[in-house]
Structures are given as structure tokens and as C-alpha cells.
Structure 1
Amino acid sequence: MDVFEGAATVRPGYELPIAALTAWLERHAPDFRYPITVNQFNGGQSNPTYRIDTPGKSYVLRRKPDGPLLKGAHAVEREHRVISALHAAGFPVPAPLALCEDDAVIGTPFYVMEMVEGRIFWNPTLPDLTPDQRAAHFDALNATIARLHSLDIQALGLADYGRPGNFFARQVQRWSRQYQEDDLAGRDPNMDRLVAWLPDHLPEDDGAASVVHGDFRADNLIFAPDGPQVRAVLDWELSTLGHPMGDFTYHLMMYRLPPQMIGGFAGADLQALGIPSEADYLAAYCDRMNVSLPTERELRFYMAFNMFRLAAIFHGIKGRIARGTAASAHAQTMADNMPALAALAWAQTGETT
């Protein structure tokens, strides 16, 4: 996973108009000084992300990709809104600096935020840590997502950030539609089975609603360089209002995804590594949230649904490759993993056919 680490020369087709960007930064970025140096982050599967270095400080720029986009995708405006609200509430996110919705500046909408220094673990087993250190980092992951789900959406000013209630039904419908409407990416038999199975096995929705991250995993967090403190949670493109257990069980997938999948460590010796078991990690979250453990039937649905959703994202990456708008240098790997992930998602259902 270290192929995603750091920033490098901007990839062909993703260049930014330096003069126009410099002029905009001079007007909108605090303490800006030119000249600027622009590199592109190797990570990030959807919205192209850049590191901008100046003589005074560094910034991060996130923009929409060029070309035709699926409806509702790549909403950098929503990312800017949610991190603005969370930063004001003291939740660990980069400080948002400015949003530009004018396509004329660099060709697409974008926003700029502070550059947070620290440590990103691209390998989900957090190598180079001792077992005790690893346990502390996993506890920090657990505490951070529980803290997010405990924030009051009214106090955040995000009561209209999504539609509370019927979260799973709406999400199944959304990702089924995105999968089915992306003709360039083709079809997969296990995805088709899940499109039919998931609506018939929805868990009861208790109406719980919180800000949900949508892609919470270790490599979307910046830790302090020498400890388990979380300095920033990144990549809010998939955030909305939703059911906290749905968001947490997406994070919990790391226990069941193989190492070649993003964020997975199935088959690892958890005890030797100092990583809590899946059951203990789930129990810790439920204790922090003061909610009951999900039933076995509910957990089967949550895992099948979240793997289906991730497979639909990979399917969308496959479509973006076909359209020439894939932002990541490693997009092909994600697309190639889609059939295996869809098969694993179907296996979570417990169905034999």
C-alpha cells in the first residue's frame, strides 16, 4: 500500500494552470506567498488532490476531475461544507481555507485546506509499531469514529446535509442505480444478485442519524508522528447524514477484506499484532455509543451492504477509466479487484446460490 504514499510530479492530464491558480491563492489563501510548487498526491481514487508548497506554508487542493461525471459524484462543495462545520466543532479535520465554485479559474470547482503534517498508515496492520502501540492506535480509530457519530447534527448546522431515516433503503437504491447506470463499466453476476437481495433484507431503521464519513479507514486519517493522537480525518466525499452503525460496519470490513483490498487484513494474526478481535472492536464501539450489539442477521446485512457499496465504488472507477476521468494512478487495481469484492460481498449473505 505504500504506492499511495506521498506526492509526486503532477500526472499527465491533471496539470493546473499555475498563473490563474497563483492569482486566486493570492486573493483567498491566508498568508500566501509566491512562487508555488505543485505536486499531486499518489493516494485518492476520485477527486484529484494536490500539495501546494510556498515559501511560507503548504496547502492541499481538492478538485473535481475533468470530463463527464455521474450525477452527485465528486461533490467538493459538500466536502468543504462538512469539514468547515466539523472544524468549527473541534473535530480533527484540516482547516478549510477557501472554496472556489468558478470553473474559469482552473477548469473545475475546488477548495483549499491546510496541510496537516503527521503519519498516514497505508498498510491497515500499522507496521513498524509495537503490539501495544498498535492497540492504542486502533483504540484511537474506534474513539474517533464514535466521536463523529456522537456529534449533534443540529448544533453542527448540518441538519439538511442529508435525509435522516430510511438510510439503508436509500443507500441500497443509490448504489444499485449507480452500478446499473454505468454502462461503460459492464455487469457482474454477484452485483446483480446483491441488487436483488439487499432490499429484501433491510434491518429495522431506528431513526438514528449522524454525520457519517462513508470511507473511514486508517489511511484516511493523519496520526501524530510519534503517538496515537488523530490529527485529521481526510476524504469526506462520501459523507452524508446516515445511520452510524452502517458507517461503523463499513470501517469494520477491514477484518474481512483480504490484504489486496484497500484497508483489509483478513487472515492476519491479530493477537500477535496487538489488534483487537472483530468482536471486541465492535463491542468497544457499541459501548462508546451506548447501543446494543447488532444481531447476527443484522451484521450479515451490514457486511454484505458495505462490501456491495465498496464494489459499486470500484465499478464506478472502472467506468471512469473507460471515460478517461480516473484520478488515481492506481485506479486500474481498484477496478480489477471489483469482481472478487463482489463475490466476497455475496458470501456475506450466507446464501448458497
Structure 2
Amino acid sequence: MASKAPLDIPGAEAKLRAYLQAHAPELGALKEASKFSVGQSNPTYKLAMDAGDFVLRTQPLGDLLKSAHAVDREHRVMQALGQSDVPVPPMVLACEDLEVLGVKWFVMGLVQGSTLTDPQLPDHDAAMRRHIYEAQLDVLARLATTDPGQLGLSDYGRPSGYLERQLHVWTRQYRASETQHMPAMEELISKLPGMLPLEQHKAVVVHGDFRLDNLLVDGQGDVQAVIDWELSTLGPPLVDLSYWCTMLRMDQSWPIAGLGGVNLSALGIPNEQELVAQFAHKTGLEIPDDWHVWVAFHCFRFAAILQGIAKRVSEGNASADNAANVATQAKPMAELGAEILAKGAH
């Protein structure tokens, strides 16, 4: 069961209304706030204001894991990327005063576009499917060539050691949210430290959760905005590509579905080899021989994220309506990673 969100607390909406009137008077009065049902981590609301519709994104209530639910970082990185050719929503204001809603939060513009949750894109024809995937790849290539220094983000993360830090952070997060013993996860935690790829390129802005359902896509199949930057930092330019490919390897039957077991050519969707080759062509980056280790690493990382959802479900503090179902994916995700490591580059 989903827990109370910040605006469920008596008096919270009145505090929000007063704060917006004082700090963003150009928006006019708040007429209605309605919570989006999707989103596993940070409660997100549509705000109907006199000036139009906007989006409120908040941390969840309750005890938060260290470095999790970093909506302040989300606001900062999107504000900076607004200067670049990576499409993001326009930022309005951010608030770290816990006296207002009890959590950190920010408001951004509402970008028109659809969130596509099924990677098979059943409501589109083959030509449009290919266009959407290539549009996503184009945005990813732009992100992978960002210059953090030019965007004022040189201190947004450390310039090197991303993979080692992520392995440490998500091992710690996994241990803090562990609710069952998963042998495959233990295998990944044991083997990955000795196999992590060398970081051979200058750090770029990394989204950290770059997949289809974190994009807003218009009716022509073009990406209008990349959203959900909670896990963003600085890191190697292959991070988001390898993560996206990991997401696509997930089985088509899982709660968060991938394209595993799908006839891609019949659907007109580019396969992983095509996407990786196009990315290399667009960015000039070379794809390493240990690509499978990158993918296995992301299986571990995503399994740890899913386990965090499982922990919130067990504590009654989950944000999304489908959180309990999504949480069951942690175990098969870890098993996929262990299988990829065992098979190696073959």
C-alpha cells in the first residue's frame, strides 16, 4: 500500500500555496494539486495554477537512505542542462526549507508529451518505433558529449572512479534495504569489484536512469524532455548507454518490461548491436571488449534500486501504486546479471 505523500498531511497544501504566492507570484494562485500515480521514488504532482499547469516534485516522507531522493540535485542538473541541447523541463523554483512540506521539493514547467512505458511500443507502427528509438539515441549521444565545466557542473560529481563508487554506494544501499537472501546478488557483489572496466574517457553528465519511460515523447516521436534526474552525477560516457541496453535485455514479461524474447526486426526496433554502433558513430567513442561487464554492473545496480522499492513496500512507504509488483523484479534482475557475467563476452 502506498504511504502518505507530503501533500496528504493536513495543512501542507495551504503551506505550499502560501510559499508559491510569496516566491513565485508570476504563477498566480494554486487551484488544484493532483498526484501522478507513476514514479517509484519521489512523489510528483500536477499543479493547476492561474498561469497554467506545472509539476511539483518532492522527496517522500519518512526516513530516507543516505544520498537517496536527491530532488535538490535533480533541480540543479536540469537547470544547468537548460543551457544545452539536452531537452529538459524549465525549472521554476526549489525549496529546501523543511518547515514548508517537511521535505525538499521543486517546481518545474509541465512539458507536453507522453511517457511510454512499454518498450515494444504497441500503439505505434514499425517506422515510428524505429524513429522513437533513434530519437532516444540522439538525445543520449548529446548527453554523452556534455562538458560539465561549461554547464557549471564541474563539482556535480567526482571526475573519476564512478564505477567503484557506484558499486560501493549500491552495495551499501542494498544491505540497508535487504529483505531476503539473493544468491545471485551476492555473486555480483563478490565478482564485480575485480572486473570493473577502466574509465578511459573524460567524465560527462550521467542521467543514471536513462530509459524510455523517463522521456516525454511527442506525437511525432521526438523527445521533448528527459525527466527523473534523481540518480544523475558525473561519470564515463558509456554509463547511460550500457544502462539503457541493460533495460532492454530485461524480459518482456517482467513488471518493468524489457525486450527480452521479443522479435525486434518484426517490430522495426533496432537491436542492441545497432544502437551501440550508432552511438559510437555519433559520439566517436569506442565500445570496449568488456561490454558485458558494463551490462552486468547495471543489472546489479538496478537490482539494488528495486530492492530499495521492496524495502519501502515492507515499511508502507512506497510512492507508486504498482510498487509491490515492481519490487518482485529485484531477484530476476540480479540473476540476469550473474548469468551475463558467467557467459562473458560470448
Question: Is structure 2 residue 199 aligned with structure 1 residue 217?
Answer: no
Q: Distance in 2 between matches of 1:138 and 1:170?
A: 30
Q: Distance in 2 between matches of 1:148 and 1:30?
A: 33
Q: Distance in 1 between matches of 2:34 and 2:251?
A: 31
1:102-153 residue CA offsets vs partner (Å, 9 max, x unmatched):
1111111100000111122111112221111111111100010110111111
**Matched residue, 1:299:** 291
Q: Secondary structure at the match of 1:317?
A: helix
**Matched residue, 1:276:** 270
- 1:189-228 matches, cutoff 5 A: 189-224=183-218, 226-228=219-221
**Matched residue, 2:165:** 170
* Offset of residue 159 of structure 1: 0.6
Q: Secondary structure at the match of 2:190?
A: helix
**Matched residue, 1:231:** 224
Which residue identity lines up with residue 192 of structure 2 in the other structure?
Answer: L
In structure 2, list runs of 5 or more residues that go unmatched: none
Question: Is structure 2 residue 59 aligned with structure 1 residue 68?
Answer: no
Which residue identity lines up with residue 137 of structure 2 in the other structure?
Answer: N
Q: Secondary structure at the match of 1:113?
A: strand
Q: TM-score normalized by structure 2? A: 0.93
1:27 to 5, 10, 22: 22
Q: Distance in 1 between matches of 2:317 and 2:60?
A: 6
Q: Distance in 1 between matches of 2:283 and 2:27?
A: 42
Question: Is structure 2 residue 258 aligned with structure 1 residue 264?
Answer: yes
- 1:107-256 matches, cutoff 5 A: 107-183=102-178, 185-224=179-218, 226-256=219-249
**Matched residue, 1:99:** 94
Matched positions, count: 338
Question: Is structure 2 residue 279 aligned with structure 1 residue 285?
Answer: yes
Q: Secondary structure at the match of 1:262?
A: coil
Q: Distance in 1 between matches of 2:30 and 2:239?
A: 45
Q: Distance in 2 between matches of 1:95 and 1:237?
A: 16
Q: TM-score normalized by structure 1? A: 0.92
Q: Secondary structure at the match of 1:204?
A: coil
2:333 to 315, 328, 341: 341
Bigger drift between 145-154 and 169-178 goes to: 169-178
Q: Secondary structure at the match of 2:131?
A: helix
Which residue identity lines up with residue 112 of structure 1 in the other structure?
Answer: V
Q: Distance in 1 between matches of 2:91 and 2:245?
A: 28
Question: Is structure 2 residue 312 aligned with structure 1 residue 320?
Answer: yes
Bigger drift between 94-103 and 206-215 goes to: 206-215
Q: Distance in 2 between matches of 1:314 and 1:288?
A: 32
Q: Distance in 2 between matches of 1:351 and 1:200?
A: 16
In structure 1, list runs of 5 or more residues that go unmatched: 1-10
Moved over 6 A (4+): none
Question: Is structure 2 residue 50 aligned with structure 1 residue 58?
Answer: no
Aligned CA distance change for structure 1 residues 98 and 263 (closer, same or farther; 3 Å): farther
Question: Is the 1:214–1:238 Cα contact (8 Å) retained in structure 2?
Answer: yes
Q: Distance in 1 between matches of 2:176 and 2:20?
A: 38
Which residue identity lines up with residue 106 of structure 1 in the other structure?
Answer: L
1:308-343 residue CA offsets vs partner (Å, 9 max, x unmatched):
100000111111223332211111112111111111
Question: Is the 1:94–1:232 Cα contact (8 Å) retained in structure 2?
Answer: yes
Question: Is the 2:174–2:304 Cα contact (8 Å) retained in structure 1?
Answer: yes
Higher relative contact order (CA 8 A, sep 6+): 2
* Offset of residue 246 of structure 1: 2.0
Aligned CA distance change for structure 1 residues 30 and 219 (closer, same or farther; 3 Å): farther
Q: Secondary structure at the match of 2:205?
A: strand
